[in-house]
Amino acid sequence: MSDDALEMSDDALPPKVCKALSLFLPPEDHRMKRLAGKALRLRSNIPWGKGLSSSSADVLSVLYVVNDYLRTGFTPEDLYRIAARVEPTDPCLSSDVVLFKQHAGVTEQSIPLPPLTLLYFDAAADREVSTLDLARPYAGDAPGFFDELLRRFLHKAAEKDYAGIFDCITGSAVYNQAIVTLPRFHEYHELALDAQAGLMVAHSGTIIGLLVRPGQTASLYERLVRMANRYRPTDVHIENYSSPIS
């Protein structure tokens, strides 16, 4: 994008967003002239470095607004592919859980899940993880492990098998401890096994939580709050999910 195509606000756009905008349309495209003299501001309450897709949300929200303003007609899939050229991206524009190729920005399929509740918190508030800088020294069995885990997960999701779904989620979290080790992980793992819940971690961040049946929420929330706050005050968040395609 040419220097005069976008007027930066006082709150400068993050470098990843600027790079995505430079890939949106060629600078010489006549539609880009409509951005001349326009200010673009970005504000987010998503903490950085926690595995909550903060960068993807930044990039995709700006691309979405520019796409709408210029009436370029790009689909969410088009925007995903642009974002993936900046860094591995997450499907933040999708309203459902999807199987998604982060490096290519391609949605493969939607995944029908039974109603779930997620209880989560930041397991290492003093740490931040950079997706681009994160080393992933996977063992040689990693491709086969994840292929089999995905196959089982899709099968259990189609059957609405809570136990099977939670087992797959937990297996992925345990495997990821070789990449991003979280403090007291074994305690949360034991709680998940005892409660027959799924243990979830952000694979490039410090968020950890339990996926549970909706009826388990009240009792497990109190247990998780006590455990999470044993050493420092921590907010435990609750999100409910019900797949519209189930």
What CATH fold (topology level) applies to the domain 112-241? Answer: Alpha-Beta Plaits (3.30.70)
Give Rg (Cα) of the chain: 20
CB 9 within 8 Å of CB 40: yes
CB 202 within 8 Å of CB 90: no
Q: Give the pLDDT of the chain (246 residues) as one tens digit per residue.
A: 333 334 434 357 899 999 999 999 888 888 888 888 888 888 889 999 999 999 999 999 999 999 999 999 999 999 999 999 999 999 999 988 999 999 999 999 999 999 999 999 999 999 999 988 888 888 888 899 999 999 999 999 999 999 999 999 999 999 999 999 999 999 999 999 999 999 999 999 999 999 999 889 998 999 999 999 998 899 999 999 876 654
pLDDT at 244: 61
Write the single-letter amino acid at 91. P
pLDDT at 131: 84
Could you give the C-alpha distances from 224 to 21, 36, 123, 216, 217, in angstroms and in order? 41, 51, 12, 12, 10
CB 199 within 8 Å of CB 188: yes
DSSP conformational letter for 85: T
Predicted structure pTM score = 0.86
User: Domain coordinates of the chain in residue numbers?
Assistant: 3-84, 112-241
